[in-house]
């Protein structure tokens, strides 16, 4: 998409409207993740602003949105304690950003191309399930948990499922009414009536839901005080009232800790985990993109690195591309990366100018938006589609879903990747060559022709070796590499070892277009 397309009237309108929805989703998530991380509340908001404006402008991703990530909460929580405070941790965030920029220049982003499609789809489906399970308590008014918390096991010893069950013992009627009305509106917003209405279809349902939620609570305050939604059930941005409170917002890295080895350990941990989460996210967003545009992974690592350098310098949490924000962005109809930038500007305006107005928004309204986003990520049709693709696609997919649901994002992805790689190995084990055998009537011996496939890699080594070992005695074998463009050293080693000792089984072997050497590109 060109600069002219990005700033076209139609795209700017779509991006501005979708940025409002992303902003409404990101606002409580920034606060909730900061709270769950044991960091100052403003650090989450700073990360959201930097992720939107700085990363948004530098990134070449069209639809992903960056900010503080729930997947880093455990790392941040322990690192702040290990480094003796938040300012030491900010130094680690700054260094992590420098490492990410270096990874971008080293072209480490290519790792993102190796995530199997079933694992990416499983990750999206799992996050959809987690959103639903985590947001139902907020929808019904039980807000004891941080809004952005995504871990299965929680600090109080409960877990996602037990917390969900216990939440029904703590229903707050005012929040429940707002939540159910919000859900009803969002479901209705997907109807044909709205889609066919020229005015309504251009307005994201999330904006209407928040406005209605604020209005309902205003009526509660005026006419039904017992149902009034206050306190923990509302968005809660700290209000900057004077210069002293403004000074407390920005914290700076403690450069005196540059000699502390733990700072570097934390920095490398943050850089690797944040980079993996970012690459996973942009790969997932590219799959959801209606136009199927591709994000340059190395450019994304550089953009994220600069974002973390800025965040570390002014008191923000570490930043990654975030699937929840990106999914909400796509669902709201964003056209370009300007939606992410506008959402960052809105966060800045909300914090600096209108915190009191933002604090009028019930969390139940925002929970309804996230539940609908979650459902669209984990639709039953997705599971049916993956099942129809066969075991090789469905097993890694469902394994990833279950593993993420009951652990966390990165552990779940690693488990899903392991299962996916098993099926890749199995597939490669089966198809490294074409095997044809003919019986010679006069001698009763076999004439066997083995034609190697286009690419023969180390993954084919086991299959090739077992095939050669089980060739019948006294057979004549032709091993033909005419179709091969590349044959790895491992496969060549198996072939030449067999040629050397084939006479012991009275086997004659003829090699056609089989090169000598390590990994070889074959020119016929």
Q: Is residue 149 part of a domain?
A: no
**Total domains, the chain:** 3
Q: Cα 454 vs. chain centroid, distance in angstroms?
A: 34
Which run of H or of E encompasses 54? Answer: none
Q: What is the pLDDT of residues 286-311, one digit of tens each?
A: 989 998 888 999 999 999 999 999 99
The verdict on 206 and 298 lying in the same domain is yes
The verdict on 9 and 125 lying in the same domain is yes
The verdict on 318 and 393 lying in the same domain is no
The verdict on 35 and 108 lying in the same domain is yes
The verdict on 253 and 112 lying in the same domain is yes
pLDDT at 523: 47
Of 398, 430, 462, which marks where a domain is finished?
Answer: 430
Q: Of 145, 117, 119, 118, give the one whose Cα is nearest residue 133.
A: 145
Question: How many angstroms separate the CA atoms of 18 and 339, rounded?
Answer: 6
Q: Is residue 368 part of a domain?
A: yes
The verdict on 66 and 89 lying in the same domain is yes
Q: Average of pLDDT values for 38-55?
A: 95
Question: How many angstroms separate the CA atoms of 28 and 148, rounded?
Answer: 7
Q: Is residue 524 part of a domain?
A: no
Ramachandran region, residue 135 (left: φ > 0; alpha: ψ -120 to 50; beta: rest): alpha
Q: Is residue 519 part of a domain?
A: no
Of 312, 347, 378, which marks where a domain is finished?
Answer: 378
% of residues, the chain, pLDDT over 90: 63
Which domain covers residue 366, as residue numbers? Answer: 3-143+160-378
Q: Is residue 245 part of a domain?
A: yes
Q: Is residue 206 part of a domain?
A: yes
The verdict on 98 and 132 lying in the same domain is yes
Q: Is residue 31 part of a domain?
A: yes
Provide φ and ψ at 488, rounded to 5°: -70, 160
Residue 2 confidence class, pLDDT cut points 50, 70, 90: low
The verdict on 302 and 327 lying in the same domain is yes
Per the model's pLDDT, the better-predicted residue between 358 and 440 turns out to be 358
The verdict on 408 and 301 lying in the same domain is no
Give the CATH number, domain containing residue 505.
Answer: 3.30.750.24
Q: What is the pLDDT of residues 463-507, one digit of tens each?
A: 788 888 888 888 899 999 888 887 888 888 888 888 888 888 899
The verdict on 237 and 192 lying in the same domain is yes
Per the model's pLDDT, the better-predicted residue between 519 and 169 turns out to be 169
Q: What is the pLDDT of residues 68-84, one digit of tens each?
A: 998 899 899 999 999 99
The verdict on 308 and 353 lying in the same domain is yes
Q: Is residue 150 part of a domain?
A: no
380: helix, strand or coil: helix
The verdict on 325 and 371 lying in the same domain is yes
Q: Of 446, 447, 484, give the one whose Cα is nearest residue 464.
A: 484
């Amino acid at each position: 998409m060109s600069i002219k397309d990005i700033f076209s009237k139609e795209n700017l309108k779509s991006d501005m409207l979708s940025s409002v929805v992303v902003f409404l989703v990101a606002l409580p998530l920034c606060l909730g993740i900061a709270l769950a991380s044991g960091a100052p509340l403003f650090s989450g908001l700073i990360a959201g602003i930097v992720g939107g404006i700085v990363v948004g402008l530098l990134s070449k991703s069209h639809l992903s949105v960056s900010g503080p990530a729930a997947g880093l909460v455990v790392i941040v929580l322990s690192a702040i304690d290990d480094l003796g405070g938040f300012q030491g941790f900010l130094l680690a965030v700054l260094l992590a950003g420098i490492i990410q920029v270096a990874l971008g220049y080293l072209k480490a982003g290519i790792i993102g191309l190796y995530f199997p499609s079933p694992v990416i789809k499983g990750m999206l489906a799992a996050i959809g399930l987690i959103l639903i399970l985590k947001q139902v308590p907020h929808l019904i008014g039980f807000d004891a948990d941080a809004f952005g918390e995504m871990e299965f096991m929680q600090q109080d010893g409960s877990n996602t499922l037990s917390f969900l069950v216990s939440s029904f013992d703590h229903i707050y009627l005012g929040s429940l009414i707002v939540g159910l009305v919000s859900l009803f509106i969002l479901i209705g917003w997907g109807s044909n009536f709205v889609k066919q209405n020229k005015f309504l279809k251009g307005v994201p349902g999330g904006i209407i839901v928040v406005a209605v939620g604020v209005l309902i609570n205003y009526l509660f305050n005026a006419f039904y005080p017992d149902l009034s939604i206050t306190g923990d059930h509302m968005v809660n941005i700290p209000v900057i009232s004077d210069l002293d409170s403004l000074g407390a917002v920005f914290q700076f890295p403690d450069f005196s800790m540059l000699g502390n080895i733990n700072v570097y350990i934390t920095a490398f941990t943050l850089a690797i985990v944040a980079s993996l989460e970012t690459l996973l996210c942009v790969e997932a967003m590219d799959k959801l993109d209606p136009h199927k545009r591709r994000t340059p992974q190395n450019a994304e690592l550089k953009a994220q690195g600069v974002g973390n350098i800025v965040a570390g310098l002014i008191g923000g949490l570490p930043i990654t591309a975030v699937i929840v924000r990106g999914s909400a962005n796509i669902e709201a109809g964003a056209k370009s990366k300007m939606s992410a930038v506008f959402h960052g500007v809105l966060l800045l305006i909300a914090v600096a100018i209108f915190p009191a107005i933002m604090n009028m928004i019930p969390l139940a309204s925002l929970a309804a938006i996230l539940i609908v986003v979650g459902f669209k990520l984990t639709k039953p049709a997705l599971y049916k589609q993956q099942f129809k693709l066969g075991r090789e696609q469905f097993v890694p997919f469902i394994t990833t879903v279950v593993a993420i649901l009951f652990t966390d994002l990165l552990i779940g992805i690693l488990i899903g990747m392991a299962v996916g790689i098993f099926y890749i190995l199995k597939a490669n084990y089966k198809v490294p060559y074409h095997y044809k055998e003919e019986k010679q009537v006069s001698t009763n011996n076999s004439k066997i022709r083995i034609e190697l496939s286009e690419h023969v890699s180390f993954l084919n080594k086991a299959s090739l070796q077992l095939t050669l070992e089980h060739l019948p005695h006294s057979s004549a074998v032709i091993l033909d590499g005419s179709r091969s463009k590349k044959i790895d050293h491992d496969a060549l080693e198996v072939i030449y070892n067999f040629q050397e000792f084939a006479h012991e089984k009275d086997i004659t072997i003829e090699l056609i277009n089989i090169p000598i050497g390590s990994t070889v590109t074959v020119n016929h």
